Amino acid sequence: MVPVFIGGHPRSGTTLLGAMLGTHRECICTPESPFKARVFRNLRKGGINTIDIQTAFEMIRNSWRFKLWGLPIQPVPYDEISSYQELILWLVKSYAKKTGKPESTFWIDHTPANIEHADTLIKLFPDSRLLHIIRDGRAVAASIMHLDWGANTIDRAAHSWVRKVSHYVGVESSLGAERIMQIKFEELIQEPESTLKNICRFINIDFQSHMVTGSGFKVPKYTVQQHSLLGKKLDVKRVSAWEKDLTPRQIEIFESIAGGLLQSFGYPLKYGLNARGMTVTEKIVSGAREVYMRKVVNKFRRRKRKSKGITTAPKN
């Protein structure tokens, strides 16, 4: 099974792209799996082949992110699994079997942080391919600020986008075009067929027209509200919706922080060099709101959503 790791700043379209590729008859798209890199980092001591498989499985099994897979785990065939890589792929194949695609030969993983852990993932899966999806940072900010995680204010959203995207582009440069491909969210929405054809060529699968529907992934209950448009007809209006969702002042602040990077990706600015940075008062108000939302409001919202959405895997 060949892993295809999709990554990018959260709310950049990683799930949409995963669902599109997951529609392919040879591909299985699993829920996000941030645990795969975290468990590996926690257990590696003497090298990649020294990880205790049973310990690794117990750590994964106890991860709430893995519980979102809703996978009724059978006894692990430890006599058939000799490495951490094989354990991960066994879990993926178990998920594929559960969802009716046991013959899948490509694993589509849309965890946003995949690009951050590119070096680890490549060491674990030498034949893997990576896809980096980029979206206009102003659209990312408009999408993420109302959620119960991530940045809650426009300046925090701008700094997060600049920091992560700049890092990811650096990763791209180090890996090279044979290993990683960059995709723009806007092109995926406006020209889905041609964009998907290019991606299919990169990962070496045939293009299938029904991939455009993005129906190849069942969203866990925990995140279903955040992906309410998944599987529906693509709406090109989504590309510019941020222009109405953000206030003119929010757009100006974002551009004052991230204008240069936006331009480098071909995103036109509304304020350009005239974008005014935040005043002292705006910074104080923004900082107070960020702390209040993160430590009080969102903490409660996230706990409530998590308790409703997690499906605990049955005990063996």
Confidence of residue 313 (pLDDT cuts 50, 70, 90): very low
Report residue 21: phi and psi, to 5°. -70, -35
User: The whole model's pTM is what?
Assistant: 0.88
Residue 314 predicted with pLDDT over 50: no
The residue ranking higher by pLDDT, 231 or 269, is 269
The answer to whether 144 touches 157, Cβ cutoff 8 Å, is yes
Task: Give residue 306's pLDDT.
Answer: 64
Predicted confidence (pLDDT) at residue 154 exceeds the cutoff of 80 = yes
Beta-sheet strand order (sheet of 27-30): 27-30, 106-109, 2-7, 129-134, 180-184
Residue-level pLDDT at 238: 86
The tens digit of pLDDT for each residue in 221-233 reads 555 554 555 656 7
In the chain the domains, ranked by start, together with CATH numbers, are: 2-227+240-309 (3.40.50.300)
pLDDT in tens, 177-234: 899 999 999 999 999 999 999 999 999 999 999 999 988 877 665 555 545 556 567 7
Report the chain's mean pLDDT, rounded to a whole number: 89
pLDDT of the residue at 151: 86
| 129-134 and 180-184 strand pairing | parallel
The predicted model gives 16-22 an average pLDDT of 95
Report d(CA 42, CA 191) in Å as an integer: 41
